[in-house]
Amino acid sequence: MPNPRPRSRPLMIVPVLVAALAILLASSSTARGLFSRVRSETFNKFTTALNNAPITTTTSTSTSPLQAAATANLTSSKMGRPPVYFFSHGGPDVQYNTKHPVYPVLQAIGKEIIQKVKPKAVVVFSAHWQATPSEIHLNNGDGPTDLIYDFYGFPDHFYKATFPATGSPQLAAKIQQLLTKADIQSKGLKRGLDHGVFSGFNVAFPPNTDQAITVPLVQVSLFKSEDPDAHYRLGQAVEELRDEGVVIICTGMTVHNLRDMQFTWGDPRPLPYAVSFDDALKEAVEGDAEGRLDRMREVVKRGDARQAHPWMDHLMPIYVAAGAAGKDKGVQTWTLHEGSFAWAQYRFGDVPEE
């Protein structure tokens, strides 16, 4: 049973949406049991509010600008290396819940990436794609990328979300070359974007706006493991992409405990570990880059680590980001402690001056 929560200032959120985002990610029998309870009277109480939430996705099927971008050659950038980003991405509700504090934060990060960093391509690692313990998979498809609605029990319009993106076999092949060079086995295949990508990206990079992604986008898997060293090496393997103007974005959550949602239902005050683990991760990331892996390796050994992440799939992406950062300093740009979750956002490296 979790320790009692300390009192803190109430946040402007719709607590059931946070609960719903966690349920969609559930794969364990415990989480599925919790989902069944959510589908009962408590969940139904909020269904109308969810259905009336504003929809910010586009229904446009035009992809010709993206097709053109996808066929452009990736050449060495003389504009300086773009930063690496870690998004705490939330669930499928994040793109509709405009009043949640993370919404304007993701918008601001997207604006920074598109208008200041100006990537030639985007490579994304999501907590929702784990391949095998020893092999990395990546999308090498050409043309528009489909979406994977990897959640259940949500209002119908959640399954009509769109996000226009175009892959790049050329970029995928380059990634595989780098992985092979680093002795990492890999396999290219056709796969859609999961909600760990498209939900948060619809906020950060809204289609049909001046913040839309119009350059190639390739998603790469994680290992199916909780090995921080392996994921750090994975990031190191693709660091060279930054020399070609590619922005690397890794998405997960800095604290992600589905099982303890039942103790925080309707109450945004954080459980103690949501604060302590998030703070420890910040300290590990923000220190000197030379000792960063050692510090981050120790974070997963903490006594509160299994409370913060009963399964560490949502934590591993920040190890990829830190590895891809090379010698660049990491900084936590924002965080929120909410129930059994933490929403920290990170940037590694400097934003180019305008």
Q: What is the mean pLDDT of residues 279-290?
A: 97
In the block, tokens 């309870």 appear at 37
- Model confidence at 79, pLDDT cuts 50, 70, 90, reads low
Q: Is the pLDDT of residue 24 over 60?
A: no
Q: Give tens-digit pLDDT for 213-270.
A: 999 999 999 999 999 999 999 999 999 999 999 999 999 999 999 899 888 888 889 9
- Model confidence at 54, pLDDT cuts 50, 70, 90, reads very low
What is the reported pLDDT for 262? 86
Q: Is the pLDDT of residue 68 over 70?
A: no
Cβ(25)–Cβ(93) under 8 Å?
Answer: no
What is the reported pLDDT for 251? 98
CA separation (Å) from 285 to 112, 146, 261, 290, 336?
Answer: 21, 34, 27, 11, 17
Q: What percent of the chain has pLDDT over 90?
A: 73
The gap from C-alpha 350 to its chain's centroid, in whole angstroms, comes to 20
The beta strand positions in the chain, using DSSP E, are 84-88, 121-130, 135-139, 185-189, 217-222, 246-252, 255-256, 330-334, 337-338, 341-342, 345-348
> Which position has the higher pLDDT, 338 or 5?
338
Nearest to 345 by CA among 209, 266, 250: 250
Q: Is the pLDDT of residue 121 over 70?
A: yes
- Model confidence at 43, pLDDT cuts 50, 70, 90, reads very low
What is the reported pLDDT for 278? 98
Q: What is the mean pLDDT of residues 278-285?
A: 98
In the block, tokens 């405009």 appear at 98
**Contacts of range 67-73, beta carbons closer than 8 Å, 24 or more positions apart:** 67/143, 67/144, 67/166, 69/166, 69/214, 69/215, 69/216, 70/142, 70/143, 70/166, 70/167, 70/168, 70/216, 72/120, 72/215, 72/216, 73/170
* Calpha distance 172→54 (Å, rounded): 35
Q: Is the pLDDT of residue 35 over 50?
A: no
Nearest to 237 by CA among 287, 163, 175: 175
pTM over 0.85: no
Q: Is the pLDDT of residue 46 over 70?
A: no
* Calpha distance 181→61 (Å, rounded): 38
- Model confidence at 354, pLDDT cuts 50, 70, 90, reads low
> Which position has the higher pLDDT, 126 or 91?
126
Domains and CATH numbers, the chain: 84-348 (3.40.830.10)
Structure tokens at 155: 């209002």
* Calpha distance 126→313 (Å, rounded): 9
Q: What is the mean pLDDT of residues 17-35?
A: 37
> Which position has the higher pLDDT, 267 or 292?
292
CA separation (Å) from 80 to 106, 118, 246, 309, 315?
Answer: 23, 11, 11, 35, 28
* Calpha distance 137→234 (Å, rounded): 12
Q: Give tens-digit pLDDT for 141-200.
A: 998 899 999 998 999 999 999 999 999 999 999 999 999 999 999 999 999 999 999 999
The strand pairing partners of 218, in sequence order, are 123
Direct distance between the N- and C-terminal alpha carbons of the chain, in angstroms, rounded to an integer: 51
Mean residue pLDDT of the chain comes to 83
What is the reported pLDDT for 33? 34
Give the three-class secondary structure for 138.
strand
What is the reported pLDDT for 312? 98
Give the three-class secondary structure for 299.
helix
28-42, 161-175, 326-340: which range is least confident on average?
28-42
What is the reported pLDDT for 203? 98
List Cβ neighbours of 12 (8 Å cut-off, separation of 6 or more).
Answer: 99, 100, 101
Q: Is the pLDDT of residue 5 over 70?
A: no
